[in-house]
Amino acid sequence: MTDLSHLRVDFPILHQQVHGEPLVYFDNAASSQKPRQVIAELTRYYELDNANVHRGLYELSNRATDSFEAARKKVACFIGAGSADEVIFTRGTTESINLVAQVWAAQFLKAGDVILYTGMEHHSNLVPWQLAARRTGAVLKHIPVLDDGTLDLTLLDLLLTEQAKLFACVHVSNSLGTINPVRELCAKARALGVTTLIDGAQAAGHLPVNVRDIGCDFYAFSGHKMCAPTGIGVLYGKAEVLAKMEPWHGGGEMIESVTLEASTYKAAPHRFEAGTPDIAGVIGLGAAIDYLESVGIEKIHQHGQELTAYAMQCLAELPGIRLLGPQGDRASLAAFALACAHPHDLVEFANTHGLALRGGHHCTQPLMKRFKVPGTSRASFYFYNTAAEVDRMMDILHRAVTFFS
């Protein structure tokens, strides 16, 4: 197994006890931990460069602006964008998707148009499109999920047609670990003239992402799931698509000129970034990308797959367990249900032993209904997690089976 345990020294939060037991943090699909290098960069900004960006002509503002825009270039390179101007900063994946669902949808959707998504979407890639459908009269359709946790692509030709104007799809399922074939799906959509949005919240920072290779029109992800601070996210948009879109929020920074009667607006990305941005968050995101690239995304992905395979093998030995999601190639998480305990009760028991799991519907209620479970327990991993921690999890879960049975 790929050994990245030497990197744990970079994560101060991991070296503590919870309820008298060493912390095992297995809730990385919700939010990853932050290395000292990112924390130090945040401190450096606030101690030395704290000023607003783009508008000042003095040294602190110039330095802050340089760091801010350097981070935008790092993001563009990290995801393979054609230009830094295709990178829009938001508060996270949710806000990125809502930007498209409100601005793009208002301009280009009409009554009877089809919005297509999948049965495994996070609520953040469902609810915005439901709201858009209500506003525009568009029709909602979805690709069903098979028993093995993959999409039923035998129905793709029936559902993905020229009547579909928008296809929204998660890259990696936060509830199943499924890695969807987004490149092939976007190619199919592109051939039909369908605009595509990929929810990359569980993919960016965990596996290699190249938006030009994927061929999507939009790609959304969050910093806090890839070692960056909370409250910062990214919306990638193809330059030609962004150029046709109206502004979202109005205010400072996104304008070229303003009179009392009318305004003209900057080009993307600044057109979509009204007001003072999360400057420290953007700079922290740039530092996180530097850190991840120093580790190597391929190594991170390989480690995650190996650790998940080991965890799945161990979990299968628990009595009364039901494992959800693909049994082969999958992302760095294991979702399961135990016959003897509700997910919430199991997670509370684990917490008393220092193990941080996630229990519930994971913001995928339709998916839980499809699998006929109230929710699942989820162990999600990142490169700083180890096989020894999986062994500790298994010891705790065996204790839980005894306790609840």
Beta-strand relationship, 333-338 and 263-265: unpaired
Tell me yes or no: is domain 5-30+296-404 CATH 3.90.1150.10: yes
Fold annotation for 39-294: Aspartate Aminotransferase; domain 2 (3.40.640)
Q: What is the DSSP letter of 45?
A: I
Domain boundaries, the chain: 5-30+296-404, 39-294
Using alpha carbons only, what angle is made at residue 112 by residues 108 and 116, rounded to the nearest 5 degrees? 75
Q: What are phi and psi of 139, to 5 degrees?
A: -105, 135
Average the pLDDT over 92-104 and give the result: 98
Q: How many residues does the chain have?
A: 405
283-338: per-residue pLDDT in tens?
999 999 999 999 999 999 999 999 999 999 999 999 999 999 998 889 999 999 99
- Choice among 169, 216, 314, 363 that is catalytic: 363
Give residue 167's pLDDT. 98
Give residue 56's pLDDT. 81
Cβ neighbours for 147, distance < 8 A, ≥ 6 positions apart: none
Beta-strand relationship, 255-258 and 358-360: unpaired
Looking at the chain, the whole-number percentage of residues with pLDDT higher than 90 is: 97
Residue 220 has pLDDT above 90, yes or no: yes
Nearest to 143 by CA among 105, 182, 108: 182
One-letter identity of residue 149? G
Please give the model's pTM, rounded to 2 decimal places.
Answer: 0.98
Residue 1's pLDDT band (boundaries 50, 70, 90)?
confident
Chain mean pLDDT for the chain: 97
Average the pLDDT over 79-91 and give the result: 98
- To the query of whether residue 363 is one of the catalytic residues in this protein, the response is yes
Residue 403 has pLDDT above 90, yes or no: yes
Residue 89's pLDDT band (boundaries 50, 70, 90)?
very high
| Number of H-type helices and E-type strands within the chain | 14, 17
10-43: per-residue pLDDT in tens?
999 999 999 999 999 999 999 999 999 999 999 9
Residue 228 has pLDDT above 90, yes or no: yes
- 5-30+296-404 shares its CATH topology with 39-294: no
